[in-house]
Amino acid sequence: MLKHLSAAHAPFTRFFGYGIVFGLSLVLGSVLMAKVPYENEQIEARVALMNTQKTALSVLTDMASGRRAFNKRHARDAKNTLIETTKGIKPHFKHIEMDAHTLARPNLWTNWEDFELRAKNAQRAAKRLNPRSADTLRQSLPAMIKGCHSCHERYKLQDREFTTH
Ligand code: HEC
């Protein structure tokens, strides 16, 4: 009887255990988020947008390199995320917002049209991602990665620690 009961409870206990871990990671996540010292929500939001695209992109690079098994549905989801996030770049950077921690270079606002163009090119590359197979993904990924880099090399500081001002 006792054995039976505890067996019946096992899935619940396991679920509960996962719940705690998940809950903890949420709490930890928000503590970490709260520590991000951006001065305003717009900067926070644009960095969050960028981190979302980083996560989506790494799903695809992991699949292309074989670090992660190819999965068409996940690849398609990541592609759709990248289409949306690259579309979001322009509205997220529309206003001139700087603080002590941002990696955005202020010249992006004095070269706004060029910045927009690079955002558009990145979006085009996102649309052209081909998640049909690992092979087609591998072929279409370099243009996407180039789309990210081409803007970063012009409008993003590599790292605050290495700047000299
Ligand atoms: C049109 C310009 C542009 C494009 C395209 C772009 N980024 Fe960014 N990205 C920026 C700027 C500017 C920042 C700095 C934002 C800040 O700190 O306020 C940034 C910051 C980031 C950050 C956080 C800063 C860091 O170095 O840790 C990540 C991650 C990132 N981008 C990933 C990507 C990925 C992945 C892509 C392509 C899918 C991409 N970005 C495409 C302009 C761009």
pLDDT one-digit tens code per residue, 40-84: 899 999 999 999 999 999 999 999 999 999 999 999 999 999 999
- 124-164 residue pLDDT tens: 999 999 999 999 999 999 999 999 999 999 999 987 665 44
Best residue among 152, 158, 161 to mutate for probing ligand 1's pocket (most ligand atoms within 8 Å of CB) is 152
Q: What phi and psi values does residue 104 have, to the nearest 5 degrees? A: -75, 135
Least reliable range by pLDDT among 10-24, 31-45, 102-116: 10-24
Tell me, what's the pLDDT at 5?
A: 45
Q: Pocket around ligand 1: residues whose beta carbon is below 6 Å from it?
A: 43, 46-47, 50-51, 53-54, 57, 82, 89, 102-104, 108, 115, 118-119, 122, 147-148, 151-152, 155-156
CATH fold for domain 40-162: Four Helix Bundle (Hemerythrin (Met), subunit A) (1.20.120)
Q: Residue 104: beta bridge partners?
A: 156
**pLDDT tier, 114 (very low <50, low <70, confident <90, very high otherwise):** very high
- 16-34 residue pLDDT tens: 555 555 454 544 444 445 5
What is the CA(145)–ligand 1 centre distance, in A?
A: 11
Q: What is the pTM of this model?
A: 0.80
Q: Which amino acid is at 165?
A: H
Half-sphere exposure of 131 (CA within 13 A, CB side): 24
Q: How far is CA 30 from CA 33, 36, 55, 116, 157, in A?
A: 5, 10, 18, 32, 26
